[in-house]
Structures are given as C-alpha cells and as structure tokens.
Structure 1
C-alpha cells in the first residue's frame, strides 16, 4: 500500500490550484521574514543601548511614536522622546552594563504593516555610582518587560508604541509615584539632559 504525503501537491494539480498554493506560501514566507526583521530591529535597538548611542536609538522610532519608559513618563512624537528621554540619558548614564534580550512573542498577520511584540530584558550591572566615583562590581541584575507596537514605514519596521518596565527584583514605580518620591526627597524634578543630541536630524 502506498502512502501519500498530504502536504505534497499531485503532479496533475491544475494551474489555478498551484497559483493559490504559491500565493499562500509566499504570504507565509513574507510573514516569517517580517517577524525576523522586527526581531532584528529590537536587537539593534538594544545594541545601541549597550553602546550608549542615544542618537542611533532615536532612529528606530516613527515620527509620531508614543513611549512610556520607566520613570520618564509618556512621550508623544520622536522630538519629545529625544528631548525628555534620550538627551537626559546622554547626560546621566555613564556606566558600562551588559544587556540580554530574549523570549520574543511577535503577533503579525500576513501582509500587515502593523505588529505587536513582547520581550524579556535583562541588564547585568557592572558599575555602581558611589560618592567616590564608579565602583566596578559584577553580579547584580534587573529583569524588564517590553510591550511594543511596530509599524512598517517606507518599507522599514519602526517602533510605533513602546512600553517598558523593570519587574524584578523590584517592580518599577509608576511615573506619578516616582514624581512623589522626587518631591519628597527634595531633588530638583526638572530634566537634567544637556541637549547633546542634534535635533535638526529629525
């Protein structure tokens, strides 16, 4: 008795059936390629973070992107993201840390120009700021979660909406809670970014 592979087209398949099958396969392949491009987008973003390349990080967002990143609060548009997040980080973050991005779950319909993804993020802290300067130490870590909407713009995938929080070992306070802590501590709540990123480049 012969066994027939249910996934194999018969040699006598009519042209119309073959055309439908080819179109389906092309759609599936394109979806897989889009998912891989989205994964590469997020990986490159984390590489820029590790390299402290704030200008390069901004380039991964759409012009009207919305973000909600830890205590920085909500931003609307790339210009506000640069001015209120990346400029501040450029001025303040001097430590050398390691990052691991893992466990991507990407939701994308075939042929769509929008997608949704969630990731797990780990930061391995190598240096701590003390009164005597930066102290080198290895071991402490943080775990975070990304929840992102992506959009294809001019053939390139970009971040359309990004939410990020640290969840372990301690959960990030929400923005209003952080502002209350800042006010209670007497720390100047104004942004301290030096504006070193060139805004004339978009």
Structure 2
C-alpha cells in the first residue's frame, strides 16, 4: 500500500508541475499579445508596465536600452511623438521554454506587420498589401506573480533583413543613402 501511495503522490506532483508549466506558458503568451495589441493601437501609455525595472531591449533602429526608464525615454516617448500610421500586426508561432526553477522563461515569436500607410514628403500615402516579417527573442521573468519582459531583442528578417547594430548606427548618422524600396531602408 505504501508503494501505491508514494506512486500516487509522485504522479500528483508531476501533474501539478506540468499544469503550472502550461499555465505559465499561457500567461506569457497572453502578456506578449497584450503588449502587441497596445503597440498596434498606438496606446503608448502603460507600455513600459510590460517590462521589469532592469529590462534590456534591442529593438531595431531604437538601439539598446538598459532599464525601464531608459526604454520609456528613448523608445516609447519617441514612438508616441512620431508614429501615427495605422498598421496591423500578427504575432504567431511562439516557442516558449520555462527555465528550471519556474520564474524565468525564454521565447521566440514570428511577427508580421501589414503596412497601410507610408510616410512621404508632405504626408502619408495609403497602400494595401506590403508586409514585413520579424522575430522577437525574449527572456521573461515572473515578478510578484506576473510575467514581464526581462530582455527583448527584435529585428525584421523578411523581405529585407535589418542590418547589424554597427551598420544601423552608420546609416542613422547619414553616411549612407538609401533608395525607398531598396535593401534595409532605415526610414520608418
């Protein structure tokens, strides 16, 4: 009888562990989708609430930030002032691994942006159909029972690949000229 009770207790603990892992993965997916929804809606208020205080980001042309305050000052505030286009986003194909110990995780996602409006001199031009494909690579951490971004890396990978960080810096400094529609045009 003792063996049966021990086996049953072991099975219950295993099931509890598996259930917790599934709940954590779903919580991370939900958090990341809510972040993307705010981005798509251009709802910049509260975007930083998805990040830990010590978060590190490397998001395309925005460069590397360290800490939530730096992220707000150098990314979200800039986006709030400059981005008004009505683009659509699709976040898919999550691969999420909960690390041993259960309070950190790693995830990769595929992102698609369906561009509706292009910035032109004198305003915007509305075009239907263009798209971009990107990749998120994120580390998540549970803080006070809530999953948050601890680290976020994001780049566009198709149809043109974002340049490496040192190439971005040179292009932003104006040392290269780019043709709209050419490879890795840095203009938003």
Q: So what's the TM-score if we normalise by structure 2?
A: 0.88
Give the deviation of 1:134 after TM superposition: 1.5
Larger Rg: 1
Give the deviation of 1:182 after TM superposition: 2.6
Partner in structure 1 of residue 38 of structure 2: 48
Structure 1 segment 69-88 matched on structure 2, within 5 A: 69-88=59-78
In structure 1, list runs of 5 or more residues that go unmatched: 1-10, 187-202
Distance 2:132 2:118 in 1: 13
What do residues 109-130 of structure 1 show as CA deviations (whole Å, max 9, x unaligned)? 4651000000000000011111
Greater shift in the superposed pair: 100-109 or 143-152: 100-109
Runs of 4+ in 1 over 3 A off after TM superposition: none
Give the deviation of 1:185 after TM superposition: 5.4
Distance 1:33 1:80 in 2: 31
Partner in structure 1 of residue 170 of structure 2: 180
In 2, are the aligned partners of 1:70 and 1:165 still within 8 Å (CA)?
Answer: yes
RMSD value over aligned CA atoms? 2.0
Give the deviation of 1:136 after TM superposition: 1.4
How many pairs align?
177
Give the deviation of 1:179 after TM superposition: 2.2
In 2, are the aligned partners of 1:128 and 1:135 still within 8 Å (CA)?
Answer: yes
Q: So what's the TM-score if we normalise by structure 1?
A: 0.82
SS at match of 2:8: helix
In 2, are the aligned partners of 1:31 and 1:109 still within 8 Å (CA)?
Answer: no
Give the deviation of 1:180 after TM superposition: 1.2
Give the deviation of 1:144 after TM superposition: 0.2
Distance 2:87 2:159 in 1: 17
Partner in structure 1 of residue 185 of structure 2: none
Give the deviation of 1:13 after TM superposition: 6.8
Give the deviation of 1:12 after TM superposition: 10
Distance 2:7 2:17 in 1: 15
Partner in structure 1 of residue 130 of structure 2: 140
Partner in structure 1 of residue 20 of structure 2: 30
SS at match of 1:59: helix
In 1, are the aligned partners of 2:99 and 2:106 still within 8 Å (CA)?
Answer: no
In 2, are the aligned partners of 1:31 and 1:110 still within 8 Å (CA)?
Answer: no
Give the deviation of 1:174 after TM superposition: 2.5
In structure 2, list runs of 5 or more residues that go unmatched: 177-188
Matching residue within 47, 60, 65 for 2:50 = 60
